[in-house]
Structure formats: structure tokens, C-alpha cells
């Protein structure tokens, strides 16, 4: 009762102050140029992938359907966190309203949960393609692919609604300084004036369900793929499959490791500088690397990309010949 009266006499925080990635003036301009370049490069890569998948019938296959979804997700993903990172590097610590902060948190949690399940769906697709090629058409028919993609997006939204609602209902009475470059779960929990045990439990359970469920699909899939690859009689085929799967596995491992460390812990993270470094890995590095690893190294995608470039270069010449 005394606790309720005490909170009732306090003023609720209406805005937060984001300290940003770095408060050191000497390196902020350099970091701004680097991250702006990475942001634009990520948008360009994923736009190119979406265009190639949508405009070329040769790429209308389950694997490229998931890659198109991943490209769309990555564009939304970096556009939720990177603008605030860039503003912080350009202007220093800046104010963000409580509503804007919760909105950013909602979209971020939704997209990161969607990516976890989408990467698991892609791992299953690779498993079926390599380990059960004769059953690939019925197992990965369009209805199944659409169902996997929809469940990833809707599952991310559902988890985000629950987590964001739990964090938004907490009472924030000050201080209001977030030692981060965007509104994330752990920094917000650190500022709460009310007990966060229930919210931490919900956060932990949802992280285990999403990450644990995704890993239960991804890990066995890649283990089965590894076994199938080592049984291949041709050394050339084995080397090609290993190089492709190894690069996929590296990106997936980095993403899941960083997210597990931050979001599957039942207590608030106090080492916020480490939190920011890990956040850069899965909000900046993996979205930039995924298009290259999953798509742009693929021979079919490269062939369609070269065909697109050839068509764009030959079209003006053909127009000029038509006019003459």
C-alpha cells in the first residue's frame, strides 16, 4: 500500500535520453560515415535481392522465396535501429518520447523474433534439399513455404505484443538515460522504478521459446546436412556443399549466439557497453552479411544479376538503333 502511494506521488517519465553508441567526439564522425555506408549498402543489397527474386521466374523457388522474405525483413530491421544510431553519432545524446521508444521496441522485437524463426525455416529448406531431394517438391510446396513464412511473421508480432506490453506497463520515474543507441529490453528494465521480476520472466520464457524452438530446428538440420555432405562420393561436390553450408552456419551461429547472450538471460545486463557491441553485431553486421552469404554468392542469382546488367546496358543501344 505504501509502495503504491509512493509511486502515485512520483512523476512518470515522458521521454528517454539515448546516449548512443559512443559519446567520444573524436570518433563519432568516423563512426557516422562507416555506419551510414553500411546502412546504405545493406539497403542496396536487399533491394537488389528482392528485385531479382520477384522479376525472374527462374528464381521462383522455395529457397529464393525465403531469401526474398529475409531481404524484406533485413531492410525493415536495419531501418528500425540504424536511424537512431546515426542520429546519436551525428548529434550526441538525444531525446526520444516514451511512445516513440515503445514503438521502436515493438518493431525491433517483432523483427528479431521473425528473423530467428525465418532462419530456422531456411535451415529446414536446406536440409530437405540436400538430405531428401526426391521429397523436396511435396515437402516444400508453395502452401508449406507460405505457411512457414506467415508463421514466422505472425509469431514475431505475437511475441512482440506480449513483451512490449509488459515493459510499457512498468513505471519509469527517473533517471531516464538509456545507455544504448536504441530502445532495447535490458536498458529499459534497468530504469524501471517498479519490480521487474515478472517482466524478466516473460522476457526469458519468450526468448527460450523463440530461440530454443528455432535452434531445435536449425541445429539438427545442419547436423544432418553435414553428415550428408561428408557421404558425398565426389570431392568437388563435397567441397562446394561444404563451402556453402559453412558460410551459412557462420552467419547463423553469430546471430543466434549474440541474441542468446542478450535475450535468454533471466537478469538485467549491467555491462551495457558489451550489450551495445553485441547489438551492433546482430543489428548491423549480420543484416549486411546475410545477402552476400545466402544470395549473392549463389550461382543462379549471379547469373540472373549478370543477365539484368546485360539487359540494362543493351536496352539504350537497342533504343538508339530503333530511332535511327
Average pLDDT over residues 300-319: 65
Would 298 be classed as within a structural domain? yes
Residue 309 lies in a domain: no
CA–CA gap between residue 175 and residue 19 (Å, rounded) = 13
Expressed as residue numbers, the domain containing 217 is 16-302
Q: Could you tell me if residue 9 is inside a domain?
A: no
Is there a domain that residue 28 lies in? yes
State the DSSP code for 15.
E
If you average pLDDT over residues 297-310, what whole number do you get? 72
pLDDT in tens, 310-322: 665 555 555 554 5
Does the pLDDT of residue 24 top 80, yes or no? no
Q: Is residue 6 part of a domain?
A: no
pLDDT tens digits for range 44-71: 989 988 888 888 888 888 888 998 999 8
**φ, ψ dihedrals at 96, nearest 5°:** -135, 135
pLDDT at 311: 63
Q: 178 forms bridges with which residues in the sheet?
A: 18
Separation in Å, CA 14 to CA 106, 143, 161, 166, 188: 18, 46, 21, 17, 13
What does pLDDT average to over the chain? 82
Q: Between 272-280 and 235-263, two packed helices, what is the crossing angle to 10 degrees?
A: 150
Residue 319 lies in a domain: no
Least confident span in 109-123, 138-152, 199-213: 199-213
Among the ranges given (205-214, 238-247, 276-285), the one the predictor scored with the smallest mean pLDDT: 238-247
Tell whether 285 is covered by a domain.
yes
Handedness of CA 259, 265, 267, 271 (dihedral sign): negative
What CATH number does the domain containing 119 carry? 1.20.1070.10
State the pLDDT at residue 275: 76
Q: In terms of pLDDT, which residue wins out, 188 or 241?
A: 188
Q: pLDDT tens-digit profile of 71-129?
A: 899 999 899 999 999 999 988 888 999 999 999 999 999 999 999 999 999 899 989 98
What's the number of domains the chain is made of? 1
pLDDT at 1 > cutoff 60: no
Counting residues of the chain whose pLDDT is more than 90, the rounded percentage is: 31
Asked if residue 277 is part of any domain, the answer here is yes
The predicted structure's pLDDT at residue 2: 45
Q: What is the 3-state secondary structure (H, E, C) of 96-145?
A: EEHHHHHHHHHHHHHHHHHHHHHHHHHHHHHHHHHHCHHHHHHHCCHHHH
Say yes or no to pLDDT of 306 above 90. no
Interval 255-296: pLDDT, tens: 888 777 776 554 454 555 677 878 888 888 888 888 877 776
Amino acid at each position: 500500500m505504501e509502495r503504491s502511494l509512493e509511486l502515485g506521488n512520483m512523476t512518470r517519465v515522458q521521454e528517454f535520453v539515448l546516449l548512443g553508441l559512443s559519446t567520444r567526439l573524436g570518433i563519432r564522425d568516423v563512426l557516422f560515415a562507416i555506419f551510414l555506408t553500411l546502412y546504405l549498402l545493406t539497403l542496396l543489397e536487399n533491394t537488389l535481392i528482392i528485385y531479382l527474386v520477384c522479376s525472374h521466374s527462374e528464381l521462383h523457388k522455395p529457397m529464393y522465396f525465403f531469401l526474398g522474405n529475409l531481404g524484406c525483413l533485413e531492410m525493415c530491421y536495419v531501418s528500425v535501429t540504424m536511424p537512431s544510431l546515426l542520429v546519436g553519432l551525428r548529434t550526441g545524446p538525444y531525446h526520444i518520447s516514451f511512445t516513440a521508444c515503445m514503438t521502436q521496441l515493438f518493431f525491433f522485437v517483432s523483427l528479431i523474433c521473425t528473423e530467428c524463426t525465418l532462419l530456422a525455416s531456411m535451415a529446414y529448406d536446406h536440409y530437405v534439399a540436400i538430405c531428401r531431394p526426391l521429397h523436396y517438391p511435396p515437402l516444400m510446396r508453395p502452401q508449406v513455404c507460405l505457411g512457414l513464412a506467415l508463421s514466422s511473421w505472425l509469431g514475431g508480432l505475437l511475441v512482440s505484443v506480449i513483451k512490449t506490453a509488459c515493459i510499457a506497463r512498468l513505471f519509469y520515474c527517473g533517471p531516464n538515460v538509456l545507455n544504448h543507441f536504441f530502445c532495447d529490453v535490458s536498458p529499459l528494465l534497468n530504469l524501471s522504478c517498479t519490480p521487474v521480476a515478472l517482466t524478466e520472466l516473460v522476457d526469458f520464457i519468450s526468448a527460450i521459446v523463440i530461440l530454443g524452438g528455432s535452434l531445435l530446428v536449425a541445429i539438427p538440420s545442419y547436423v544432418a546436412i553435414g553428415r550428408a555432405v561428408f557421404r558425398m562420393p565426389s570431392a568437388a561436390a563435397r567441397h562446394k556443399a561444404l563451402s556453402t553450408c559453412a558460410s551459412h552456419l557462420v552467419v547463423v551461429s553469430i546471430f543466434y549466439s549474440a541474441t542468446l547472450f542478450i535475450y535468454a538471460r533471466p537478469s538485467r545486463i549491467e555491462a551495457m557497453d558489451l550489450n551495445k557491441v553485441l547489438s551492433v553485431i546482430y543489428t548491423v553486421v549480420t543484416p549486411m552479411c546475410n545477402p552476400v552469404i545466402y544470395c549473392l554468392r549463389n550461382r543462379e542469382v549471379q547469373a540472373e544479376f549478370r543477365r539484368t546488367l546485360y539487359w540494362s546496358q543493351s536496352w539504350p543501344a537497342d533504343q538508339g538503333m530503333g530511332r535511327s
